[in-house]
Amino acid sequence: MSLNVVHLVGYVGSDPEVRYFESGSVKCRLTLAVNRPSKEDQPDWFNLEIWGKTAQVAADYVRKGTLLGVKGSLKFDRWQDRNTGAARSSPVILVERMDILSSKRDTDPNAVPAGYVPEM
């Protein structure tokens, strides 16, 4: 038996990069910062790849700072370095399910903060 399942919850590091293909497919790539239990540790960064309807949802609603929960599998992008010819690889999470865990108000810099009371 084999198992390749990844669950992550973290904050989006930059606005999604979206590509539309002639076939009608949609691909979205973004980064996700996942905090460690200790506040002194730096977050772990993951590259996410999302396809289809979920990619379109990410393109429409996800922005830098959005809190996301994702479920997917680990894959490796492989290529040859153009300068050295060396084999290279990069881990990527192929997202199957995405849950937006923050509201637009949480990531909109123009939104009024929750609990804000204007001075009179």
The model's pLDDT over 25-52, given as tens digits with 9 standing for 90+, comes to 999 999 999 999 888 889 999 999 999 9
Compute the mean pLDDT over every residue in the chain, rounded to the nearest whole number: 88
Domains of the chain: 6-104 (2.40.50.140)
Structure tokens at 44: 């772990």
**What global pTM score does this model have?**
0.80
pLDDT of residue 114: 47
Do 70 and 98 meet the contact criterion of CB atoms below 8 Å apart?
yes
Do 62 and 100 meet the contact criterion of CB atoms below 8 Å apart?
yes
8-29: per-residue pLDDT in tens?
999 999 999 999 999 999 999 9
Strand ranges inside 1-120, DSSP E:
6-12, 17-20, 26-34, 44-51, 67-80, 87-100
**pLDDT at 117 exceeding the cut of 50:** no
**pLDDT at 87 exceeding the cut of 60:** yes
**pLDDT at 115 exceeding the cut of 50:** no
- When pLDDT is averaged across residues 69-98 and rounded to a whole number, the result is 94
**pLDDT at 119 exceeding the cut of 90:** no
Burial (CB < 10 A; 0-12, 13-18, 19+), residue 18, is middle
- When pLDDT is averaged across residues 53-58 and rounded to a whole number, the result is 95
